[in-house]
């Protein structure tokens, strides 16, 4: 069920109505769980069984880990959890990719044998809820989290519908306490009643409105230009490749951060706080700063459950650089079973490693007056975004020849801008949207907390702003809701 569809609007209104009418705590939680399962079933049908399997597996294994006294038994149980979750993820997401590599190798060695594809359906959201359940079990294993007391409570954490399909990736330590309420003068807790508060409602609607604006007004209307350029970029000049790359950078940000805003807003209306997933990433001043701003829930997950266990930066310098590249390689592969995502991950791994080398060799750069000045900051942003947008090319283009050609034109500018005005004239709507996006993005960068201020404004001003956003969306909506890009991952 797409957020940008009439079905979701009806579904969400029904959920809110039921929550308001039925105030019995346990019913509210069970209803919300049932609604989340329905939401997932609507999108993935029988593949809902995989979600339920992961939920049951980690609920009971985490309890056994918590109660186990022997460290060896804890490790065995953790290994079972990891094998079960990663096994499902690997089988459904990477089986055909592995078969392709095996068949390619067989052809190169002239073995004369090949394995047919399994043609498995990719369960929507499996990459996200798998990471959620893994983080829960690992936190219990580390002793940082007490296991959930009831299966229904844990199931709601895993299946909570606003962020189920494409994140943000929730942590149990952040979400489970929101389901409970402490009793006065007692360490015990009870199920918390879900209440629709007016302050949350206003901010939640504002967040959702901006999320829909990013997705349906910007991302979906810029997508045709991106598709036209990268369907077959061979023969295009550098200006056209640059325009396509910038357009895709805007599209994927609007698409994914728009989904996150809608998810955070919907959860807030229901009384739950989901962590921010984006923080103006196109104003990052370094590769590491970019990953503190882009897909924050994934980057922090990779840091806590992969980078630090590998040794982080506490080992030798060489090991630190290798850890960074390894983590981003796996982060790229997490996005999809294709070599273009591996290239994207490796590029970002190289960016992080090179930035780390420079920071280690020249520690005074970060406090140098030039880099603290406005000019220095602008240059840092432009240099960082040059490489960030370069990496968007392999993320978008799967065909190897098309990818290499696009990268070559992006890096080695041919200065054939004679047709630039013609290109702009032919795509004036998309180009205008790109300019408008950067203007609004810059305004929000200069005035942090804009969305919060709008939500706290008077009812008349707030209504006007929301109406303008909704009218803009409806006026340029073609009636066919587009999938969110991260549904594929």
- Show the tokens assigned to 310: 């590998």
Assess whether 335 carries a catalytic annotation.
yes
Q: Cα(422)–Cα(180) distance, rounded to whole angstroms?
A: 60
DSSP state of 373: S
* Cβ-based neighbours of 44, under 8 Å, separated by 6 or more: 121, 123, 124, 125
Which residues sit opposite 181 in a β-bridge?
190
Closest by Cα among 47, 90, 37, 82 to 62: 82
- Cα distances (Å, whole numbers) of residue 328 to 162, 334, 356, 398: 27, 9, 14, 18
CB 345, CB 333: distance < 8 Å = yes
Q: How far apart are the first and last CA of the chain?
A: 16
Q: Cα(78)–Cα(59) distance, rounded to whole angstroms?
A: 12
3-state DSSP assignment of residue 189: strand
Beta strands in 362-442 (DSSP E): none
- Chain centroid to CA 455: how far? 25
CB 337, CB 94: distance < 8 Å = yes
CB 303, CB 328: distance < 8 Å = no
Q: Cα(94)–Cα(277) distance, rounded to whole angstroms?
A: 26
Q: Dihedral of CA 219/488/176/307: which sign?
A: negative
Catalytic residue among 29, 117, 295, 335: 335
CA angle, corner 488, sides to 483 and 489, nearest 5?
140
Q: Cα(388)–Cα(225) distance, rounded to whole angstroms?
A: 20
- Chain centroid to CA 255: how far? 10
Q: Give me the active site residues, please.
A: 335
């Amino acid at each position: 069920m797409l957020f940008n569809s009439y079905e979701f609007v009806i579904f969400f209104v029904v959920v809110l109505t039921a929550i308001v009418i039925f105030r019995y705590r346990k019913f509210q939680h069970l209803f919300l769980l049932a609604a989340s399962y329905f939401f997932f079933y609507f999108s993935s049908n029988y593949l809902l069984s995989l979600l339920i399997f992961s939920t049951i597996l980690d609920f009971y294994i985490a309890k056994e880990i918590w109660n186990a006294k022997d460290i060896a038994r804890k490790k065995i149980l953790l290994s079972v959890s990891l094998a079960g979750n990663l096994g499902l993820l690997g089988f459904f997401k990477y089986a055909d990719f592995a078969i392709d590599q095996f068949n390619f190798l067989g052809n190169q060695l002239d073995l004369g044998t090949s394995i047919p594809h399994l043609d498995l359906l990719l369960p929507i959201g499996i990459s996200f809820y798998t990471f959620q359940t893994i983080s829960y079990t690992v936190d219990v294993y580390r002793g940082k989290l007490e296991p959930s007391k009831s299966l229904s409570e844990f199931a709601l954490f895993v299946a909570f519908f606003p962020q189920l399909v494409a994140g943000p990736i929730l942590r149990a330590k952040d979400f489970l306490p929101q389901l409970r309420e402490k009793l006065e003068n007692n360490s015990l807790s009870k199920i918390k009643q879900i209440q629709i508060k007016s302050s949350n409602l206003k901010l939640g609607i504002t967040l959702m409105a901006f999320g829909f604006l990013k997705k349906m007004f910007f991302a979906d209307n810029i997508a045709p230009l991106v598709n036209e350029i990268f369907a077959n970029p061979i023969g295009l000049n550098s200006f056209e490749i640059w325009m396509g790359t910038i357009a895709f950078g805007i599209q994927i940000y609007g698409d994914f951060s728009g989904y996150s805003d809608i998810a955070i807003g919907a959860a807030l209306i229901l009384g739950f706080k989901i962590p921010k997933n984006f923080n103006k990433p196109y104003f990052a001043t370094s590769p590491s700063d970019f990953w503190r701003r882009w897909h924050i829930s994934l980057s922090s997950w990779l840091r806590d459950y992969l980078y630090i266990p590998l040794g982080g930066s506490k080992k030798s310098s060489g090991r630190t650089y290798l850890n960074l590249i390894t983590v981003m390689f796996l982060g790229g592969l997490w996005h999809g079973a294709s070599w273009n995502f591996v290239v994207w991950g490796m590029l970002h791994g190289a960016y992080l490693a090179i930035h780390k080398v420079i920071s280690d060799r020249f520690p005074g750069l970060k406090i140098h007056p030039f880099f603290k000045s406005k000019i220095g900051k602008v240059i840092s942003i432009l240099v960082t975004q040059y490489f960030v947008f370069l990496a968007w090319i392999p993320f978008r283009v799967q065909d190897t020849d098309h990818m290499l050609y696009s990268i070559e034109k992006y890096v080695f500018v041919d200065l054939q801008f004679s047709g630039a005005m013609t290109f702009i004239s032919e795509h004036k709507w998309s180009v205008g949207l790109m300019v408008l996006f950067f203007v609004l993005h810059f305004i929000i960068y200069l005035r942090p907390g804009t969305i919060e201020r709008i939500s706290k404004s008077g009812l008349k001003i707030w209504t006007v702003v929301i109406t303008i956003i909704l009218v803009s969306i409806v006026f340029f909506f073609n009636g066919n809701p587009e999938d969110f890009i991260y549904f594929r991952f």
